Amino acid sequence: MEAQNTPKQRIFSGIQPTGNLTLGNYIGALRNFGVLQNEYDCLYSIVDMHAITVRQEPSELRKACLRTMAIFLASGLDPEKNIIYFQSQVPQHAELGWILDCFTYMGELSRMTQFKDKSAKHADNINAGLFTYPVLMAADILLYMTNLVPIGADQKQHLELARDIALRFNAVYGDVFNVPEGYFPKVGARIMSLQDPTRKMSKSDPEECYIAILDKPEIIRKKLRRAVTDSDNSVVFDPENKPGIANLMSIMYALSDKSMDEITADYDGKGYGVFKDAVADCVISALEPIQKEYDRISADKAYLEQVMISGRERAEQIAWKTMLKVRKKVGLAALKL
């Protein structure tokens, strides 16, 4: 009797195209995506609809979307093995988002810490989209019958809401949505801000706080030389008492074959200047091939267009099937292809 192939579990991940993708994005996510594509059925969405909760320059947003797609590809994502697409080009995201709004409670949304943070940053534009942002995020995930969502600690709250919405919907209408689990990569490190090493490196921070994937070597070296450390010149991994040095050690550890003990043995007592330059060499070496591939891909507009169209079509095929089921369950008029 012939053995049946077990279907791969599905992974969904979305990333905003605004700002510059950082070294933290690469170490914590993009680098791992290249490994996942051989083990899972993966969708990677450039979530441009989420981006417009904050006012954007239209032409710059469109460029940013293409730049993000090119970085995905340059980082090793195979568009044949993965579905890479723009969220706004699959209208079922918005449709499911509205339906799930009707299954989400105001109290749940008011407790979302990201709404509070963004409201403080954009006090002149506290819009409804900012408030319901987590529901659209839930729709992004549930639309594709996702099994696993790669997340960091700061995104657990949003995934929990997506799970609660799925369970609530299923309790009313039966087994409609998969209830997704968090995926926590085995390989990776939490990379912190260069200027405030108690906070995660973020592309929404001032530029001196992060290393962008596309930063030139001289910029990388300059930012690392200015990275906040302490005054005792001891290269020892102690995140609580020496968060700046621990962060730089984490970067070297993630991008090299050295253990923390080996890094300490190689650089302790040599001075922070020497160590920072060594970290810069490590980062520059890791990003150089990605940057070269990015330059090649971003110059090939026809190829990017082909990836964009293929990704949209493949994503919409899955999304359409989900929405046929959801529309029928809630009583909306039937649609035919």
DSSP summary character for residue 4:
P
Q: Which of 8, 81, 118, 223 is catalytic?
A: 118
What's the fold here for domain 10-183+301-330? Answer: Rossmann fold (3.40.50)
Res 41: pLDDT: 96
Identify the three-state secondary structure at position 13: strand
Residues facing residue 183 across a β-bridge: 150
Band (pLDDT 50/70/90 cuts) for residue 152 is confident
38 has a pLDDT exceeding 80: yes
Active site residue 200: yes
Active site residue 81: no
- Nearest of 126, 107, 106 to residue 118 by alpha carbon: 126
Q: Which of 63, 81, 186, 203 is catalytic?
A: 203
- Identical fold for domains 10-183+301-330 and 207-296, yes or no, is no
- Four-way CATH pick for 207-296: 3.40.30.10, 1.10.240.10, 2.10.10.90, 3.40.50.720: 1.10.240.10
φ, ψ of residue 18 to 5 degrees: the values are: -80, 150
Instruction: Express each pLDDT in 60-112 by its tens digit.
Output: 999 999 999 999 999 999 999 999 999 999 999 999 999 999 999 999 998 88
Active site residue 222: no
Strand extents, DSSP E, the chain: 10-15, 41-46, 82-86, 148-150, 181-183
Per-residue pLDDT, averaged over 167-180, amounts to 97
Q: Which of 200, 223, 242, 276 is catalytic?
A: 200
Question: What residues does each domain of the chain span?
Answer: 10-183+301-330, 207-296
2 has a pLDDT exceeding 50: no
φ, ψ of residue 77 to 5 degrees: the values are: -75, 125
